Amino acid sequence: MLKYSLRRLLHSLVTLFMVLTLVFLLMRLLPVEGYYGERADKLTPAQKEAILRKMGLLDPWYVQLRNFYLQLLRGDLGVSVIYRANVPVKEILAAKIPYSVAFGLGALVLSLVAGLAMGIHMAQNKGLFWDKFWTWYVVFINAVPGAVYLLFIQLYGTSITGLPMLFDRYNVRSWILPLVSMSLSGIAANAMWLRRFMVDELNKDYIRLARAKGMSSRAIMVKHVLRNAFVPLANYLPASILFTISGSIYVESLYSIPGMGGLLVTAISRQDNPLVQALVLIYSSLGILGLFLGDVLMAILDPRIRLEKQGGAR
Amino acid sequence: MRLARRVLPVLLLGALVLTGCKGAGPAPRKSGDVVGIYSGELTTINYLVTATTAEQSVAANCIDCLVEYDNLGILRPALATSWEVSPDGLTWTFHIRKGVKWLTYQGKEYAEVTAQDWVDAAKYILNPKNASQTADIVYRVIKNAEKYFNGEITDFNEVGVKAKDKYTLVYTLEKPVPYFLSMLTYCPFMPVNGKFLQEVGDKFGTDNEYLLYNGCYIFSVWEPHNQQVFVKNEKYWDAKNVHIPRLIFKFNQEAATLAPELFLRGEITGAGIPTDALDEWMKDPQKSKMVRPAETSFYTYFYAFNFNPKFPAEYEPENWKIAVNNLNFRKAIFHALDRRAALLTTDPYYPERMINNTITPKNFAAYGGKDFTQIGELAEISNRDSFNPELALQYRDKAKQELAGKVKFPVKVMMPYNTGSTSWTNRVQVVEQQLENLLGKDFIDIIPVGFPPTGFLNATRRAGNYALMECNWGPDYADPETYTDPFYPGSNYNWPEMAEGYLEPNGKTKYQNMVDEAKAEVIDIGRRYELFAKAEAFLINEAFVIPYSVGGGGYVATKLEPFTSPYAPFGVSSLKYKGQVVLDKPMSTEEYKAAYEKWLKDREAALQQEAAKAKK
């Protein structure tokens, strides 16, 4: 396990270095006009040079890259140059991450509880009314763009229930609709996959054997089917928890939640290089860590999986 | 510029909706708070660096200038109580209002506002390390400022801004600038406290606590991507003319979509009504009483003929180059463009008010009580509609005759548009059909080409990648000269200096010589305006461009009172909430039109009064 972990760590560092360097170089390929702001047509060449110099963009790319890594080794994520000029990236993220994590974890718990319950209910009633009923929900959530139903939930949800339309961190009632909205797709996904895995399990020989041995349906469901069906889902759980940090782009923006949702897209479109690099570093690290923890969790849940032997699950 | 339109958060609603704000009556009027939502967060509130309208609106409400505009567009004293200008027009001496305090974001007194604050602001702006986006506005007029910015001189004492004593500020200019006073209403001429600047260093303007306040409001709470709260500065020198106690803005990325609903629920003070929802509002008996036209801006929109085509070979740039250099070809398109039809894509109810017959918009500048657009040859142009199908067909026939054998018909006309703008996407199709139907598909072939919003101008106009294109320009100071910049050599709009047949013996084009002559006239403002009017009339009559519309506009439902806030063609005065109140109910279109008519009359009378004063 230790050997495997160290090997994965080494691979991860190499991957991280490649991703960061690639993104760094790609950002330098963007047109410089993007750094000039609204008065781009009116700035003098001297002003344009001053702007680029302040952002450190007049140095050769390898000098910029070296400076970036040296800064990173000191634990400094740099200073935002456009998104919030001169504000340390750490400060920007520190103000946003708690919101996204709070909403993300809340929504994750909701989607797990409701999604697993729905999945079990569907599997138990395979081909019957409730299976079809929940399938309709799953299809609806996957087929209709989120922007449509989330906007409806906001407009009609607030007018029917009297809940606030905009988020206010001091008002607990304003948390309800965003949490529900964020969990809807998770519920559908969890229910769909759990149903599928459970139905697969139900068709296996060992279940027939268990039935033949006289085990109750409830015991079969809980002790065998659910546990085995949950293993593939568990693989994605650590990554899902870690990625709550990235926030929900649409729901956060809809309810005015000052979280991380959409920050990377905004930072890229505004060409705020230090912020982009910091976000890529965080997201890449979390992605790699999430996959690793997923493998470990699977190994714990299913002793048949041996990480060292096969060099990992992936 | 594109950003300005895109970003326009509902935060700026007040600015858009209710341009202006001079306190009318001496007694404070009762008003509730302004509550709004906005979709574009501020990136900085460092007013000495930023050039973004939304960010400058913070400064407009929190920092005062030497002078400010009143609600009729007349310059009045603000932090300067009076001023004198030397006979040669080079030295301007301002007497600073005594007892005005710099306050912290918590409302605590920090220091007194003194003349040195303007010197410190200039020193900051002219330091290239601070990368001010408005530095050029200062160094184009102040003596030695450009040399200091470029490092040619290092002693700031040689720069033409000095604090003669605590309350006397002296600006020395490179050359006489007739519109210098108007420039002083813009951010780069705002004061800053030097001691505070030194204390906070690079953090200046990064948060509300890293700014000092001397204007009508204090930025008391700023939670980025959550909310902004401004409270009235009770110690403000003109506090009796500030009626709204608090300005509260909540962030919402979908502000434009949600605002109308929030307004109907009474949760916000005002909302822009999107064009696609306008029909529903206009047809609803209740809602129609709440919606009215929004103010237009001084952005000028025009269709530019490109004399330096750099578009791909498939659109036949060489063929276009020959065609566009034919005056009758340009005039055919000039008179064939039905601007009203095109503007219906933006404003289906009242498009006429957006139409602009000149490059310089109406009510931008006036001399001797006469609006600039009514001076000389411009008067005829501004009082007519350029759309004239008969004339268009006559010019088309002449062009066909003159270009026969020289160009390949139909001439391909590549028209780029921004796919991020629904109205532009619709409009380019309207223009295509309308022009081709009138002039004939055998004469021109309009080819709309969509480009994504990111890097749109770099990929199109600035690269010369168009034949005919909708362009815009915003003024930098209150003088008609500012509207000549896009057409002057060195610009990247439509390169009229490359048009054939306009070179004069001195090697410059006729237009350039006309503009140079106008620019050189800095003493006789009447003559200066006549010369600029003549140059602009030439540009239009020779069909280098097709004046199209003004910016802003649209429709709003708002309780904010219009026509009481500062009215300014330039600077940040028009972004102020000073003088405004929140009404009990929104104005209807009829009420708004009546108020607008009254305002027009008041402004005309005020201009006449100013002209009479100037004569004395």
Restricting to B residues 164-203, those with a Cβ less than 8 Å away from any Cβ of A are: 202-203
pLDDT score of B20: 36
Residues B233 and B337 in one domain: no
Alpha-carbon distance of B521 to A190, in angstroms, equals 76
The CATH number linked to B540 is: 3.10.105.10
String of DSSP letters for B67-79: EEE-TTS-EEESS
Residues of B whose CB is below 8 A from A269: 454
More confidently predicted of B549 and A37: B549
Which helix (DSSP H) or strand (DSSP E) does residue B147 occupy? helix B145-149
Report the predicted TM-score, pTM, of the whole model to 2 decimal places: 0.81
- Compute the nearest-CA separation of B452 from chain A (Å): 12
- Interface contact B128-A53, CB threshold 8 A: yes
Predicted complex ipTM? 0.71
Residue in A44, A85, A262 nearest the CB of B43: A85
Residue in A84, A154, A165 nearest the CB of B206: A84
- Compute the nearest-CA separation of B212 from chain A (Å): 18
Task: For chain B, say whether A58 makes contact (Cβ under 8 Å).
Answer: no
pLDDT score of B388: 97
Restricting to A residues 66-105, those with a Cβ less than 8 Å away from any Cβ of B are: 82-87, 92, 95-96
- Interface contact B225-A96, CB threshold 8 A: yes
- Interface contact A38-B51, CB threshold 8 A: yes
Residue in B37, B49, B224 nearest the CB of A84: B224
Residue type for position A15: T
Residues B148 and B66 in one domain: yes
Nearest chain B residue to A93 by CA: give it: B224
Alpha-carbon distance of B151 to A42, in angstroms, equals 21
Alpha-carbon distance of A120 to A240, in angstroms, equals 21
Sheet-wide strand order for B468-473: B468-473, B296-305, B545-552
Q: Which of A47, A92, A151 to mutate to test the interface with B (most CBs of B within 10 A)?
A: A47
Q: Which residues of A50-113 form beta strands (DSSP E)?
A: none
The CATH number linked to B119 is: 3.40.190.10
Specify the number of domains making up chain B.
Answer: 2
* Torsion sign, CA atoms B211, B216, B221, B222: negative
Q: Is the pLDDT of residue A313 over 90?
A: no
Residue in A38, A82, A258 nearest the CB of B225: A258
Q: Tell me the sheet residues that pair with B416.
A: B449
| Domain edges within chain A | 92-272
Residue ending a domain, choose from B536, B552, B568: B552
Restricting to A residues 223-282, those with a Cβ less than 8 Å away from any Cβ of B are: 252-256, 258-259, 262, 269-270
pLDDT score of A306: 65
Q: Which two tokens stand for residue B19?
A: 């341009």
Over residues A95-123, the mean pLDDT reads 92
Residues B235 and B344 in one domain: no
pLDDT score of B26: 46
Residues of A whose CB is below 8 A from B126: none
Alpha-carbon distance of B351 to B355, in angstroms, equals 7
Residue in B4, B129, B135 nearest the CB of A54: B129
Q: Is the pLDDT of residue A236 over 90?
A: no
Residue in B253, B455, B492 nearest the CB of A41: B492
- Interface contact A34-B267, CB threshold 8 A: no
Residue in A34, A37, A256 nearest the CB of B252: A256
Residues of B whose CB is below 8 A from A258: 223-226, 251
Q: Is the pLDDT of residue A310 over 60?
A: no
Nearest chain B residue to A92 by CA: give it: B224
pLDDT score of A252: 86
Alpha-carbon distance of B97 to B80, in angstroms, equals 5
Which helix (DSSP H) or strand (DSSP E) does residue A72 occupy? helix A61-73
Residues B463 and B338 in one domain: yes
pLDDT score of A308: 56
Residues B112 and B237 in one domain: yes
Alpha-carbon distance of B38 to B253, in angstroms, equals 7
Whether B242 and B564 have beta carbons less than 8 Å apart is answered as no
Nearest chain A residue to B5 by CA: give it: A38
- Compute the nearest-CA separation of A266 from chain B (Å): 11
Please give the angle made by the CA atoms of B615, B74 and B77, to the nearest 5 degrees: 95
Residues of B whose CB is below 8 A from A166: 37, 250, 252, 262, 267
Contacts A–B by Cβ distance under 8 A: 126
Task: For chain B, say whether A34 makes contact (Cβ under 8 Å).
Answer: yes
Residues of B whose CB is below 8 A from A254: 252-254, 258
Over residues A17-21, the mean pLDDT reads 92
Task: For chain A, say whether B254 makes contact (Cβ under 8 Å).
Answer: yes
Residue type for position B502: Y
Residues of A whose CB is below 8 A from B4: 38
Residue in A83, A258, A269 nearest the CB of B43: A83
Residues of B whose CB is below 8 A from A159: 265
Assign B435 to helix, strand or coil.
helix
Whether A122 and A201 have beta carbons less than 8 Å apart is answered as no
Residues B76 and B205 in one domain: yes
Task: For chain A, say whether B98 makes contact (Cβ under 8 Å).
Answer: no
Helix pair A227-234, A273-301: axis angle to 10 deg: 160
Residue B259: inside a domain:
no
Nearest chain A residue to B492 by CA: give it: A41
> CB neighbours of B298 closer than 8 A, spacing ≥ 6?
B361, B364, B474, B475, B550, B551, B569, B570
Residues B545 and B575 in one domain: no
Residues B516 and B570 in one domain: no
pLDDT score of B436: 97
Assign B127 to helix, strand or coil.
coil
pLDDT score of A47: 86
Share of chain A above pLDDT 90, in %: 28
Whether B532 and B539 have beta carbons less than 8 Å apart is answered as no
Strands B411-418 and B444-451: parallel
Q: Which two tokens stand for residue B588?
A: 């209807």
- Compute the nearest-CA separation of B42 from chain A (Å): 7
Q: Is the pLDDT of residue A93 over 50?
A: yes
* Alpha-carbon distances, residue B4 vs A190, A206, B19, B249 (angstroms): 43, 66, 16, 18
In chain A, count H helices and then E strands.
Answer: 15, 0
Alpha-carbon distance of B382 to B142, in angstroms, equals 35
Span A92-272 CATH architecture: Orthogonal Bundle (1.10)
Nearest chain B residue to A46 by CA: give it: B150
Task: For chain A, say whether B226 makes contact (Cβ under 8 Å).
Answer: yes
Residue ending a domain, choose from B522, B552, B582: B552
Residue A144: how many other CB atoms lie within 10 Å: 12
Restricting to B residues 482-501, those with a Cβ less than 8 Å away from any Cβ of A are: 485-486, 491-492
More confidently predicted of B410 and A302: B410
Residues B403 and B546 in one domain: yes
- Interface contact B224-A43, CB threshold 8 A: no
- Interface contact A46-B128, CB threshold 8 A: yes
Residues B130 and B6 in one domain: yes
Its domain, for residue B327, covers 296-552
- Interface contact A46-B150, CB threshold 8 A: yes
- Interface contact A38-B1, CB threshold 8 A: yes
Task: For chain A, say whether B267 makes contact (Cβ under 8 Å).
Answer: yes
Break chain B down into helix, strand, coil percent, rounded to 5. 40, 20, 40
Task: For chain A, say whether B4 makes contact (Cβ under 8 Å).
Answer: yes
For the segment B63-106, what is each residue's pLDDT rounded down to a tens digit?
Answer: 999 999 999 999 999 999 999 999 999 999 999 999 999 999 99
Residue A38 DSSP code: G
**Among B37, B356, B7, B436, CA closest to B227:** B37
> CB neighbours of A239 closer than 8 A, spacing ≥ 6?
A286, A287, A290, A291, A293, A294
Residue in A34, A37, A96 nearest the CB of B51: A37
**CA–centroid distance for B178 within its chain:** 19
For the segment B271-282, what is each residue's pLDDT rounded down to a tens digit?
Answer: 999 888 899 999
- Ranges of chain B whose pLDDT falls below 70: 1-28
- Interface contact A51-B225, CB threshold 8 A: no
pLDDT score of A1: 66
